[in-house]
Amino acid sequence: MRILLRALAATACVAFAAPAFAAPPTSELIAKAVADPSRPDKDREADATRHPAEILAFTGVKPGDTVVDVWPGRGYWTRLFSDVVGPKGKVIAYVPEEIAAFPNKPVDVAKATAAEAGRNNVEVVSDPLAAEPPKDFYNKLDVVFTFENYHDLYDSFMKGADVAAFDRAVFKMLKPGGVFVIVDHAAASGSGLKNTEDLHRIDPARVKEDMARAGFVFDGESKVLASAEDPHTAIVFDKAIRGHTDRFVYRFRKPK
């Protein structure tokens, strides 16, 4: 994530600017972000199955934070984070270079999100997944977030990208006490990486193992997207289960 460093450098220039007035409680800002009338209809339609207010609260995001939205898709979470962190904060929509050539043009989509009115705090970055950050850019991030895409980092279209190196890079760039929040579709217990490509699922235990190897401490989970009715055997795009899979929401913290 080497190009990300330029975005972090720009963020550092405003990091110590004092707010001119007391900000409202984060819970109010989250509610306002979800209710933002500028959000696209598709985003609003997805709210019922994504529970954005609960997920945002779980990340601990607050005004002035620097957040990285890994694999931002259509910008659903990028927009929400942008509203919450406000003008003193920064949202980096990070598109791994390995997927930049996808037919849906994910970099262009992310840039379109950043170009929307009121999104001056959003910057788009695309570079190789496992690029090593120099030491000058350690300890700069507050939150790193990825929604339903961590499993994809292991798939063949990522061209053998070093996921462990990516995890270590995230750890290095997070501030002490910063968090990496991972939401993904649960695979059957004990399956490891077996179903990342065919079912688009990952064993939650494997994610915990990855994070522990990178130095993270497991800091909690939310059950807001859990589903006991999911047998963990169907592809997540199956119409019978799409939007209602058993999804884990894990928070991993960089120790202080």
pLDDT 10s digits, 149-180: 999 999 999 999 999 999 999 999 999 999 99
Does residue 132 sit within a domain?
yes
pLDDT 10s digits, 188-238: 999 999 999 999 999 999 999 999 999 999 999 999 999 999 999 999 999
DSSP state of 26: H
**Cβ 189 vs Cβ 233: under 8 Å:** no
- Mean residue pLDDT across the chain: 92
- CA–CA–CA angle 185, 150, 239 (5° rounding): 35
Does residue 216 sit within a domain?
yes
Q: What does the chain come to in residues? A: 256
Question: Which CATH number is 119's domain given?
Answer: 3.40.50.150
Does residue 31 sit within a domain?
no
**Cβ 195 vs Cβ 202: under 8 Å:** yes
Does residue 227 sit within a domain?
yes
Residue 25 or 239, more confident:
239
- The span from the CA of 137 to the CA of 139, in Å, is 6
Does residue 51 sit within a domain?
yes
Does residue 158 sit within a domain?
yes
**Residue 20 confidence (pLDDT):** 46
10 pLDDT tier (thresholds 50, 70, 90):
low
Say how many domains are in the chain.
1
pLDDT, average across residues 13-23: 45
Does residue 213 sit within a domain?
yes
pLDDT, average across residues 44-57: 98
- The span from the CA of 241 to the CA of 231, in Å, is 10
Classify the C-alpha dihedral 184-33-74-171 as positive or negative: negative
Does residue 140 sit within a domain?
yes
> Domain residues for 126?
4-14+38-253
pLDDT, average across residues 50-74: 98
